[in-house]
Amino acid sequence: WTLIDGNYHLYPQDFLNNLNPSGLPMHRVSLQKDCPIMLLRNFDPANGHCNRTRDTLTQLSSHVIKAVIAIGPSQ
């Protein structure tokens, strides 16, 4: 089906958010300050924020994550 069919509200959003199929990440991610994270994209290669760079989370808001490089040549 497509959005044109009008069936995009076939299942409630809460139901879809509670599904946890194998191989897919959870709907909601729980992060804390000072936890290690790994970048999965090249965000700012000139400053060392590249794919597979390990960072440490320093500040967290609803739509922004601030982190510093923890391990790597750009440390």
22-50 pLDDT per residue, tens: 877 777 778 899 999 998 889 888 988 88
pTM of this structure? 0.58
59: β partners: 66
Residue 67's identity, in one-letter code, is A
Tokens 């440490």 correspond to what residue? Answer: 56
Give the residue, 48 or 71, on which the prediction is more confident.
48
> What average pLDDT does the chain have?
81
Q: Are strands 54-60 and 36-38 parallel, antiparallel or unpaired?
A: antiparallel
